[in-house]
Amino acid sequence: MRPRDHPSFRSSGLLNYSPSLSNYAVASRPACVSRVTALFDSHICLVGLSGSGKSTLGPLLASQLNLGACVDLDLVVEQRLGAPASQIFAEQGEPLFRQYECEALAEALAGPAVVIAAGGGIVLDPTNRMMLKAQATVIWLRASVPDLVERLRDSEASRPLLTGDVEFALHRLAEERTALYASVADVVIDVDGLDPRTLTEAVVEELR
């Protein structure tokens, strides 16, 4: 599926706070495949379950498309609340995290075109889904649960919703979120077995 044309964003009043998102932009890495010839002038948002590769792909894709930076929304929220996501969920609750996540998304979409690496739960909020559908080309990195289990083998502790039986938790999250990802996605990339270089090439090809 090819990217949609998107209307201009209208600020909704969520954006008047500091510090600036530019403090949390992840600098693009050197390109690892041939750079596309034209600039991509729309926001790109990467969605998918935890472990699907959003934070790894984001800077690579920003470099390929000359967008300059990737905004990692989890990093934005963690730095604004002064704690890792797992601690925020445990001590302050998921609703507070989701509130800051929504505000960070709105701010990113109000600025110049960037790649946005969204948290796995970004699609749970109807407001987020509305903003994504109106304001971004959304790429769903679709991964199978067995592939995600392998990817997350050494990082469960930093994933607040993946405590205990990780495979069971991922199946539950997939059941809850798959239809929501599909509802906002312009491009779907099956990521099982793809290394970052191959994944970047696949996404760039879809955006041509």
The 10s digit of each residue's pLDDT in 27-64 is 333 333 333 333 467 899 999 998 899 999 999 999 99
Look at 106 and 85; give whichever has higher pLDDT.
106
Determine the pLDDT at residue 55. Answer: 92
Judge whether 40 and 70 are in contact, CB under 8 Å: no
**Domain limits at 125?**
38-207
- Is the pLDDT score of 24 beyond 60? no
Query: Does residue 9 lie in a domain region?
Result: no
Look at 181 and 159; give whichever has higher pLDDT.
181
Determine the pLDDT at residue 140. Answer: 98
Query: Does residue 16 lie in a domain region?
Result: no
Tell me what the mean pLDDT of segment 193-204 comes to.
Answer: 94
Determine the pLDDT at residue 98. Answer: 94
- End-to-end C-alpha distance for the chain, whole angstroms: 11
Query: Does residue 23 lie in a domain region?
Result: no
Output the average pLDDT for the chain. 80
Query: Does residue 21 lie in a domain region?
Result: no
- Is the pLDDT score of 23 beyond 80? no
Query: Does residue 26 lie in a domain region?
Result: no
Tell me what the mean pLDDT of segment 185-193 comes to.
Answer: 95
Query: Does residue 191 lie in a domain region?
Result: yes
* Total domains in the fold of the chain: 1
Q: Give me the CATH number covering residue 97.
A: 3.40.50.300
Query: Does residue 1 lie in a domain region?
Result: no
Query: Does residue 170 lie in a domain region?
Result: yes
